[in-house]
Amino acid sequence: MHAFQRFQQQFTTYLERHPFAGQPPALYEPVNYILSLGGKRLRPAVVLMACHLFHEEEEAALPAALAVEVFHNFTLVHDDIMDEAPLRRGQATVHQRYGLNAGILSGDVMLILAYEGLLQAYEAGQAADLLRVFNRVAREVCEGQQYDMSFESREDVSIPEYLRMIELKTAVLFGGALEMGAIVGRGGAENARQLYEFGRNAGIAFQLQDDI
């Protein structure tokens, strides 16, 4: 646990030192706001942890960890809009504080920033491998969100349907974070695949515990 906390702190320090800036400020201020609200930083920490398994210098995975965390928070911004949620981590949600239009636009730019971060930080071959994982996971998270929204109007959701929904909405991002860390650490395709499966199953268990 102590080592995992080190990865969490390592990422938090990196995040604080790399705020997003650009014009117009009204677009980027909400991005930095949602990222400043904290959270457990589990997903970026497991990126670093997976890289460290194969490479002593896990700092190489910090840009990938940031991309994962930015993407995760992008989903939260849009999820809060869909749910009309007033609070996130005890503070006003982005759309509540900055307005609905700003919430939509800042969420959109977060997705783009995640892609840019991967493309700028890694050489072409490694970036392509990372983006293959990122694209797959991002699409699946959107599919999971749609299942979640559709299930709100149903009273006959089966256990297999529920499990598939939490797998897509939550678990695949844990798996993808571990897989991306293994790619940065050059752990090989089979190790990356096994770490993805471990993360996916751990993510399902995490969400089950949270829902119960």
Per-residue pLDDT of 89-114, as tens digits, reads 999 999 999 999 999 999 999 999 99
Q: What is the 3-state secondary structure (H, E, C) of 49-105?
A: HHHHHHCCCHHHHHHHHHHHHHHHHHHHHHHHHHHCCCEECCEECHHHHHCHHHHHH
Q: Which of 48, 174, 66, 62 is nearest to 115 (CA)?
A: 66
- Write down the architecture of domain 2-211 according to CATH: Orthogonal Bundle (1.10)
Mean pLDDT for 199-211 is: 96
124-151 vs 172-184: helix crossing angle, rounded to 10: 170
Radius of gyration for the alpha carbons in the chain, expressed in angstroms and rounded: 17
- pLDDT beyond 90 at 1: no
pLDDT digits (tens, 9 = 90+) for 56-68: 889 999 999 999 9
CA dihedral 126, 128, 134, 136 (to 10 degrees): -130
Instruction: Output the average pLDDT for the chain.
Output: 97
Give the per-residue pLDDT at 3.
85
Q: Give the type of residue at 97.
A: R
Closest listed residue to residue 44, CA positions, set 10, 80, 75: 10
- CA-closest candidate to residue 46, choices 140, 169, 182, 205: 182
What are the pLDDT digits (tens) for 82-93? 999 999 999 999
Residue-level pLDDT at 2: 72
Domain ranges within the chain, ordered by starting residue = 2-211
What average pLDDT score do residues 141-146 get?
A: 98
Checking if the pLDDT of 188 tops 60, the result is yes
Q: Cα(47)–Cα(90) distance, rounded to whole angstroms? A: 26
The pLDDT > 70 percentage for the chain reads 100
